[in-house]
Amino acid sequence: MKILMIEDEKRMADAVCELLHQEGYIVDVKYDGAQGYDACIANIYDAIICDVMLPSMNGFDIVQSARANGLETPILMLTAKSDVLDKVAGLDCGADDYLTKPFQVEELLARLRALLRRNRKDISSTLEAFDLSLNTKSLTLSCTNTNKSIRLPEKEYKILECLLTNKEQIISKEQLTLKVWGYDNEAEYNNVEVYISFTRKKLKFLGSTTEIKSVRGMGYELRG
């Protein structure tokens, strides 16, 4: 699970980051609001922890702008304010949960786990885009135009899952490497190219009109 933490109090951010690492999470930390917003739009995270009071861009604006851009990642907001109206404002702008500072680390972890569980339940067992339908339980890819189906190997499934979830968005090789091979794996970017080629052959076999487009210097995009 990969988490983005946007928090300008460096000491606290680093302490929480270390705790999350110990719990098995991969964590990116941004100490600036604008940098945090750029990160949440450019990368794929399982959850985001975002402070309200931040330099250059506050947490409310980050969440509101991210939601307006179609981001559906669960967001937990942090604030030093316990005022009810402040919490309401955070939830209304698109946050999923709210935690007031100071907090117990056990509560932070519990709320994060709850957000991640809730998000998994919300994910359909079928991902659909254009003429493709991917069953996330059986790993079966189907083309609705030809009624053909094929079961995907695990790595090709993970690539298509990522592309379908982020259809018509450019996904970098770095993101695909993390998704398919994991954080600590030494897989190289040419591994991605090889498995993209395998996946394209599966689409051709199915007779699908959906394409995995290469975007020079940026990554890949699923287009119908």
Tens of pLDDT, residues 180-220: 876 545 566 678 899 999 999 999 999 999 999 999 888 99
How many domains would you assign to the chain? 2
Structural domain span for residue 115: 2-122
Residue 129, CA atoms < 13 Å, CB-side half-sphere: 19
Considering the domain architecture, whether residues 83 and 137 belong to the same structural domain is answered as: no
* Preceding amide of 102 cis, omega within 30: yes
Q: 46 and 119 in contact (C-beta within 8 Å)?
A: yes
pLDDT more than 70, % of the chain: 92
Alpha-carbon gap, residue 18 to 64, rounded angstroms: 28
pTM above 0.85, yes or no: no
Co-location of 133 and 214 in the same domain: yes
What distance in Å separates the CA atoms of residue 202 and residue 157, rounded to the nearest whole number? 11
Mean of pLDDT values over 155-184: 83
Pair 172, 87 in one domain: no
Output the CA–CA distances (angstroms, integers) from residue 216 to 170, 172, 210, 213, 221, in the order listed: 10, 10, 19, 9, 11
Which among 122, 150, 184 is the end of a domain? Answer: 122
Do residues 132 and 142 touch, judged by C-beta distance below 8 A? Answer: yes
Same-domain pairing of 9 and 42:
yes
Q: Note whether 92 and 133 are same-domain residues.
A: no
Q: With bands split at pLDDT 50, 70 and 90, how would you rate the model's confidence at 132?
A: very high
Residue 123 pLDDT > 60: no
Do 108 and 8 share a structural domain?
Answer: yes
Q: How confident is the model at residue 122 (pLDDT cuts 50, 70, 90)?
A: low
Residues 51 and 100 in one domain: yes
Shared domain check, 130 and 94: no
- CATH (domain of 158): 1.10.10.10
Question: Are 118 and 133 contained in the same domain?
Answer: no
Q: Report residue 186: phi and psi, to 5°.
A: -100, 25
Give me the CATH number covering residue 92. 3.40.50.2300
Question: Mean pLDDT over residues 96-120, rounded?
Answer: 87
Distance CA(221)–CA(133), nearest Å, equals 17
